Structure 1
Amino acid sequence: MIFKLIYPLLIVLFFISTFINKNNLFSDINSSVDNFNIRFNKDIQILKNEIDFLYVTKKSLPFVNYTIDDNITYFNIEGNGVYFKNITSYPDHFNFYNLKEAKENLNSKFDNSLLFIVYNSVESFANKRQIVYSNNFSKVWVDTLKNGSLISNSFKNKRSISRDNTEFSLYNLYTDKIYNKEMFTIIFPEYDYFNNSQRLKALWYFDFNSNFFAKNTIMLKNTLDLDVSIIDGDYKTVYSTNGTEINSVTDINNFYVFPLEKTNYKILVEKENMFQLIKAKEIFLIFFIFFLVFYINKKDKLKKELHSLKMINKIKSELLLREPLTSLYNRYFLQEEMVFPINNCGVVLLDIDHFKNINDTFGHDKGDHVLKAVSNCIKLVSIGSADAFRWGGEEFLIIFKDTDKETLLDKVNTLQNLIRNLNIVDNYKITASFGVIYTNIKDKSSFYSAVSKADKNLYTAKKTGRDKVVAF
């Protein structure tokens, strides 16, 4: 009789295990695809960094040794092609961007998948004047540019280009009209203002073959043990790990589908089969758990309870009480751990000056580096004598305990100088404004009252010029 009861129980456990494995697998797929998008965005950032580097390292060269063919004036510089269209007078000098060298540098990072870099500078819409730079000099460009614009000829699909210079456009796989190679193009547009209206100023073209996706796609397959494909907006396969030539995807229901961020491309992960969900070790685990229930003794239970308690304390300490980016305390620490009263207390509220400009100008990654650096400065002056919080955004709170006014001001001035001397962003000085009060704190109510007073001093510091300390 007992075996008749055990048999259906094992069947139930079998399906529960299968269901859990499927959910875990889908969670792993989501997490791995997120990491894929992070790596892809890092690759895009590498391209933008190369553009910035080319602008910095551009050279002014004399306008000599050129050839004229109808409306095109062109010349070759160390394998780089420079093409001027519809210019009415010849300048003494022009800006030279070494795209060939940039391509070699980028291919060391992208496994030789970068085919061409083209920088198309639109000088004037009215006269259709253009300057086109290419990393590969060829007279084919002359014939292409004679009767048309590189801008209109290169856009196979009619889609708007982002007006935000931090964005990019990724176009469908196509066969290049100039070199007859299958590629896809990542485009970075640039805009300026003319007569109070925004207009397209220039475009950076990075043309890749399908191997641009290989490294990240293969990494995704190795993590999930499932085949992965990249398709464009027309469902044409750009790259696949299954080793077969697939021109297009006919049944998308066979895949988990995820967007490739900021593009019309999609990431396809093949759906798992039963053999990938149920393996011998899972079946063995079901039996092991079933029999283990009858043999667990009190000592093992106690160990598990102690282990669980340690894990809970560790999670509470590492996750609940601290803000993950800076490792400073968060407001949950105030609710659960902070002990009152606090006598002879210094309350310091500081705010990084113009932090939004850092994010907008240099990117959020650089902004995170600034937050970490400032928090490290705070840790230096607060070790053993204070509790430090990330209070919100770019705002930090420090509670100095059992101190006097002179010592408090010395530490605040030291912290101000440490922040001034940070060298995180090139040619950009980082500063902070401080609001300081000295008081006794009896309970949470008086704590928030003290923080409010420090905030008023901080507001005064910011209003009167920033990079200041307003105290007491």
Structure 2
Amino acid sequence: MIFRFFYFCLIILFFISTFINKNNLFNNINSSVEYFNIRFNKDIQTLKKEIDFLYATKQSLPFTNYKIDENIVYFDINGSGVYFKNISSYPNQFDFYNLKEAKDNLNSKFNNSLLYIVYNNIKSFDNKKEIVYSNKFSKAWINKLKNVSLTSNSFKSKRSISRDNTEFSLYNLYTDQIYKKKMFTIIFPEYDYFNNSQRLRALWYFDFNGNFFAKNANLLKDTLHLNVSIIDSEHRVVYSTNKSEVNSISTLDNFYVFPLEKTNYKILVEKENILQLIKIKEVFLIVFILFLIFYINKKDKLKKELSSLKMINKIKSELLLREPLTSLYNRYFLQEEMVFPINNCGIVLLDIDHFKNINDTFGHDKGDHVLKAVSNCIKLVSIGSADAFRWGGEEFLIIFKDTDKENVLNKVNTLQKLIKDLNILDNYKITASFGVIFTDIKDKSSFYSAVSKADKNLYTAKKTGRDKVVAF
């Protein structure tokens, strides 16, 4: 007894120790994710500085060689597009940002993660006048901007954009309406004041692929030795250190979930498995527990041997209740084990047709083979819902309990077909006759009375041609 108590204490100690390790790991995860957000904010500030650099590289270009298509004025400068929408008067020149150069410069700093740049110079919210600069000129943009404002079509959420130019918002709600690219967008708003009211002057859209997160996510994985994923608000995977990760995550149960600051994205850290929580001291505990288990098992072996003797006696007792040829219950089971009353009981008595002819024609070995085959059919229809007996010779009894008439007849019809489908004697069809009644049985006396009624139905079935079911 003392060993079992000691064994139990060691197990508790093991779980306490692993719980402490888990708590320490979770604290480490929290601090590491905090550093992730700090590094991410530094990357964003670097991006903001690059935007400031764009202002220093702008050029004054003459406003010539443009085309007009309904409410859109557009032209192509070295593969970069400039589009004017709903503008009634035009300057002689305008400021054009060299977006291709800016894109190459940004990609050199952000792991080639920048895919697309769109810059909106918004003149007014009321009439939605705007100038759109894009690093990829496309006439498809012209057709899109005829009817749709890029700004109003970009935001599917009413969440406000920060009015502090040093801040940013990161959304997955912007969709490239022309190329249908599934990207996420970092938005830098710019504001100025006009007639004592604040006006949105411009928005910068930077569409990235998942590589933007690669450096910080891999650093987090190297620290924690756990896979890290970044997902958007719709649980789509933007980046994952687990290369086998699916495109979207249906449940977050297997992850620790943290917000990505100032965004609607989340940082997922996979939950650890038990092996990652086991240290040296836990290994010693496991070894000692295994040794103790071996000792206790050795001690219990004698007890098991004694109990096996009891099991053997129980098996012998079970054998007494079964008829040896078919393994169905015998009448001794009825005397010793049957419990009364039995309500909604179906009594089925069946007899193999012309069994004496089978023995005389094919021999008693074949006759025994037929008895086993029929008993196997009976087991198929009675398992779990009935008690089946070899009642004597080629006669069998089935007691269906807590059932209804329709179910009993269905079982009997199935059994009749199973027996007829037996193909174990050459050029001979095996059939059986059935007598069935449905009643409530109060005690052993009413049981034998019910069997007698079933036997009369069986006699009728045999007398009127055999291979029949006479019921109720």
TM-score under structure 2 normalisation?
Answer: 0.56
Q: Determine helix, strand or coil for the equivalent of 1:253.
A: coil
Matched, 1:170 2:179: no
Q: Determine helix, strand or coil for the equivalent of 2:123.
A: strand
> Structure 2 counterpart of 1:89, which letter?
S
Equivalent residues of 2:210, 2:238 under 8 A apart: yes
- Separation in 2 of the partners of 1:106 and 1:249? 30
- Separation in 2 of the partners of 1:175 and 1:74? 22
Matched, 1:208 2:179: no
What are the equivalent positions in structure 2 for 1:49-448 lying under 5 Å apart? 49-172=49-172, 175-279=175-279, 283-284=283-284
Deviations 1:39-76 (A, max 9, x none): 11111112211111111221212112222222222222
Could you tell me how far 1:181 is from its partner in structure 2? 1.1
> Structure 2 counterpart of 1:133, which letter?
Y
Could you tell me how far 1:182 is from its partner in structure 2? 0.9
Equivalent residues of 1:117, 1:206 under 8 A apart: yes
Deviations 1:422-455 (A, max 9, x none): xxxxxxxxxxxxxxxxxxxxxxxxxxxxxxxxxx
- Separation in 1 of the partners of 2:238 and 2:199? 32
- Separation in 2 of the partners of 1:285 and 1:33? 32
Structure ID, larger Rg: 2
Equivalent residues of 2:236, 2:247 under 8 A apart: yes
Cα RMSD of the aligned pairs, angstroms, is 2.7
Q: Determine helix, strand or coil for the equivalent of 1:180.
A: coil
- Separation in 1 of the partners of 2:174 and 2:148? 19
Matched, 1:24 2:24: yes
Could you tell me how far 1:84 is from its partner in structure 2? 1.5
- Separation in 2 of the partners of 1:245 and 1:285? 35
> Structure 2 counterpart of 1:190, which letter?
E
- Separation in 2 of the partners of 1:95 and 1:175? 26
Q: Determine helix, strand or coil for the equivalent of 1:211.
A: helix
- Separation in 2 of the partners of 1:219 and 1:99? 31
- Separation in 1 of the partners of 2:111 and 2:54? 21
Could you tell me how far 1:127 is from its partner in structure 2? 4.2
* Structure 1 residues not aligned, in runs of 5+: 289-472
- Separation in 2 of the partners of 1:160 and 1:46? 23
Summarize the Cα distance change of 1:276–1:30 in structure 2 as closer, same or farther, 3 Å threshold: same
- Separation in 1 of the partners of 2:136 and 2:37? 31
Q: Determine helix, strand or coil for the equivalent of 1:95.
A: strand
Q: Determine helix, strand or coil for the equivalent of 2:200.
A: strand
- Separation in 1 of the partners of 2:99 and 2:215? 24
Shifted more, 247-256 versus 261-270: the winner is: 247-256
Could you tell me how far 1:287 is from its partner in structure 2? 9.7
Percent identity (aligned): 75
- Separation in 2 of the partners of 1:161 and 1:116? 21
- Separation in 1 of the partners of 2:174 and 2:121? 23
Deviations 1:307-363 (A, max 9, x none): xxxxxxxxxxxxxxxxxxxxxxxxxxxxxxxxxxxxxxxxxxxxxxxxxxxxxxxxx
Shifted more, 84-93 versus 53-62: the winner is: 84-93
Aligned residue number for residue 405 of structure 2: none
- Separation in 2 of the partners of 1:51 and 1:281? 54
Shifted more, 11-20 versus 74-83: the winner is: 11-20
> Structure 2 counterpart of 1:42, which letter?
K
> Structure 2 counterpart of 1:243, which letter?
K
Summarize the Cα distance change of 1:19–1:127 in structure 2 as closer, same or farther, 3 Å threshold: closer
Equivalent residues of 2:232, 2:265 under 8 A apart: yes
Could you tell me how far 1:15 is from its partner in structure 2? 3.6
Q: Determine helix, strand or coil for the equivalent of 1:108.
A: helix
Aligned residue number for residue 382 of structure 1: none
- Separation in 1 of the partners of 2:237 and 2:144? 28
- Separation in 2 of the partners of 1:106 and 1:166? 18
- Separation in 2 of the partners of 1:220 and 1:276? 16
Could you tell me how far 1:11 is from its partner in structure 2? 4.9
Deviations 1:139-176 (A, max 9, x none): 12211111121101111333222222222121126652
Aligned residue number for residue 406 of structure 1: none
Aligned residue number for residue 45 of structure 2: 45
> Structure 2 counterpart of 1:44, which letter?
I
Summarize the Cα distance change of 1:264–1:126 in structure 2 as closer, same or farther, 3 Å threshold: closer
Aligned residue number for residue 387 of structure 1: none
Could you tell me how far 1:284 is from its partner in structure 2? 5.0
Q: Determine helix, strand or coil for the equivalent of 1:124.
A: coil
TM-score under structure 1 normalisation?
Answer: 0.56
Q: Determine helix, strand or coil for the equivalent of 1:182.
A: coil
Summarize the Cα distance change of 1:54–1:204 in structure 2 as closer, same or farther, 3 Å threshold: same
Aligned residue number for residue 450 of structure 1: none
- Separation in 2 of the partners of 1:126 and 1:174? 21
Equivalent residues of 2:117, 2:206 under 8 A apart: yes
Shifted more, 113-122 versus 10-19: the winner is: 10-19
- Separation in 2 of the partners of 1:122 and 1:44? 23
Could you tell me how far 1:281 is from its partner in structure 2? 7.0
Aligned residue number for residue 361 of structure 1: none
Equivalent residues of 2:14, 2:285 under 8 A apart: no
Could you tell me how far 1:249 is from its partner in structure 2? 2.8
Q: Determine helix, strand or coil for the equivalent of 1:191.
A: strand
Could you tell me how far 1:21 is from its partner in structure 2? 1.6
Shifted more, 15-24 versus 269-278: the winner is: 15-24
Equivalent residues of 1:114, 1:207 under 8 A apart: yes
Could you tell me how far 1:286 is from its partner in structure 2? 10
